[in-house]
Each structure stands twice: as C-alpha cells, then as structure tokens.
Amino acid sequence: MNPVTYVGRRHFSGLSHVAVAERHSLADIIRKMCQDTARLRLTDIAPAALTDGSGGVAAAAYADAAIPRLAYGAAGGNAADTTSTATALASVYAALIALAAGINATRTALGLNAVKFTGAPAEAGKIPAVITAVTATSGANAVDFATGSVAMIAAKADVRAIQDAVNEIAAAVGADPTADQSQVGSYQWSPEPEIDPALAVVAATDPAFSLSQADVQAFLAGCAANIATAAAAFNAIAASAATPQPLQVVAKYEVPNTMGV
C-alpha cells in the first residue's frame, strides 16, 4: 500500500504536482482516492473467500504453462489420448467459471465489468479439481497436434483473463497485483473479460503429429497452479475487507497565519 499523501490548499499551486506522473501528483492522488473508496466498498460487501479445490499449488507469481510439443515417435506410447485430454481441458474451463463466478460480485461492486462465461459453476464458491493426468497412447486415439495446440492456447488465454481479472481487483483496492510470467502470444487484456468454452480436440490421423502426454500433463498442472494462485490472491483481498485500511489521501492541517502576512 502506498504511504499517505497529505494535501494542503496550495498543493497544486501553479503547475506543481499537476503535469507529472510521480508520487503526490494529481494523478497519483486521484488514483489513491479511488482506491480509498474501493476499500471502503470492499468492507461494506465483505466478499466471501473461495474454496480452492483445483489441486494446483498457489505461488507468489503466475508461471508460464508451456504449450505441448509434437510427440515424435508416438508409437512408443508417449502421445496424449484424445478423450482424456478433452476431459482435462473441460475441467480447466469448469474451474475457471467457478472462479469467475466467485469474483464477479466483488468486481461489480467495485465498478468493474463482470467476467462473462457460459454455464454455471457446479457449486457456488468452490473451484472444482483440474484434471492434470491424461492417458498415454501408442497412436490409437492420440490427440491431434493442430486442434490440441489451438485448444490449449485458448485455455491458456482464458486462464490469463482470470489472472488479469483478479489483478484488476487488486489495483482497484490498492493491493499489489500478482506478478505475471505467463506468455500468451497475441493475448490482450480487455476491460470486458470473457471465458470461452473449452475447444474440441480430435484424434490425429497420423500419430506422429500428436501431443506429448508428458507435455500435456505439465501444461494442465501449470493451468491448475495459476488458477490456485488467482484464487489465493482473491482470498487475500477478501480477507483484507475485515480489517479497515487507512486512507491514503488526507487533508493537511495548516497552522493559521496569526501574523497578518
């Protein structure tokens, strides 16, 4: 949290603290005032913590979930099975919509747009498990590299949208956002975030052009970890509502001039 800024009557005399982007500047003060208001609103709504059943391990920063590589030599049994991969990707989506539903009331109360999604969480306030294990195959029903990669890129973008949605709440209330080391290609944050349903994956016509089981599992574990990190970050913000936070902008007391000058 930023230190308190004391504002006197002459704080903005001339161009002082106006046309700059530094501490105690006009922009900084307005931003702090917005955060002061948001924290008071947060205390009013007292958001409930989410129960994280994702199975991911929360961390201090969001990590990159690498897109799987080609499973060369799938005949050796190192390819990911299509059916289990589709089920696992669906579990990522289920966890994301549960997390989105859990943070939307807080986002709306703070003047932020709700995260859009299709469907409803299986249990309100609880993030279901992300499946991180997929079946290995020697070629039969091996997931197609092209459709599998596209589906995982989309899932990765959805996870990133949730990460940013939680970080936006943090910024609104003056909390430190969670550092983000994920890499999502051409992804761009939108003030109207949306979680897209899991894309379909199909079986490869040539097992040599499938996805590695080990890489798919590492990707899914990365998604689970980032979902858990987002849930932990939100829960920390929700917990802060129980303890009133000090204002960041305070009117400065100025000793009256009794000398007549």
Residues 26-81: tens digit of each pLDDT: 777 788 888 888 888 999 999 999 999 999 999 999 999 998 887 765 556 788 99
Mean pLDDT across the stretch 91-114?
96
- The proportion of the chain whose per-residue pLDDT surpasses 70, expressed as a percent, equals 87
In contact, 233 and 52? CB cutoff 8 Å: no
Average pLDDT (107-128) is 94
Report pLDDT digits (tens) over 248-257: 878 777 777 6
Tokens at residue 91, please? Answer: 């579990």
Which pLDDT belongs to residue 33?
83
Reported as a pLDDT band with limits 50, 70 and 90, residue 96 is very high
Characterize the bridge pairing of strands 79-80 and 136-137: antiparallel
User: What is the predicted pLDDT for the residue at 113?
Assistant: 95
What is the pLDDT of the chain when averaged over all its residues? 87
- Is the C-alpha dihedral spanning 260, 24, 249, 108 positive or negative? positive
CB-CB contact of 135 with 81 (8 Å): yes
**pTM of structure:** 0.87
Q: Is the pLDDT of residue 94 over 90?
A: yes
- Ramachandran area for residue 28 (φ above 0: left; ψ -120 to 50: alpha; else beta): alpha
Q: Are 210 and 142 in contact (CB under 8 A)?
A: yes
Give the model's pLDDT for residue 177: 92
- Note the helical H segments in the chain: 26-45, 82-109, 145-173, 213-240
CB atoms closer than 10 angstroms to residue 176:
11
Q: How many C-beta atoms surround the C-beta of residue 228 within 10 A? A: 22
Residue 187: predicted pLDDT: 66
Pairwise pLDDT comparison (147 vs 10), residue with the higher score: 147
Query: Which tokens is 163 given?
Result: 């990460």
Domain boundaries, given as residue ranges, for the chain: 1-46+242-261, 53-240
- 235 compared with 204, residue with greater pLDDT: 235
pLDDT over 90 for what percent of the chain?
56
Residue listed under structure tokens 């290995």: 136
pLDDT value for 57: 96
Query: pLDDT tens digits, residue range 109-119?
Result: 999 999 999 98
84-97 in b/e burial notation, b at 16+ Cβ within 10 A?
A: bbbebbebbbbbbb
Question: pLDDT tens, 155-185?
Answer: 999 999 999 999 999 999 989 999 987 766 6
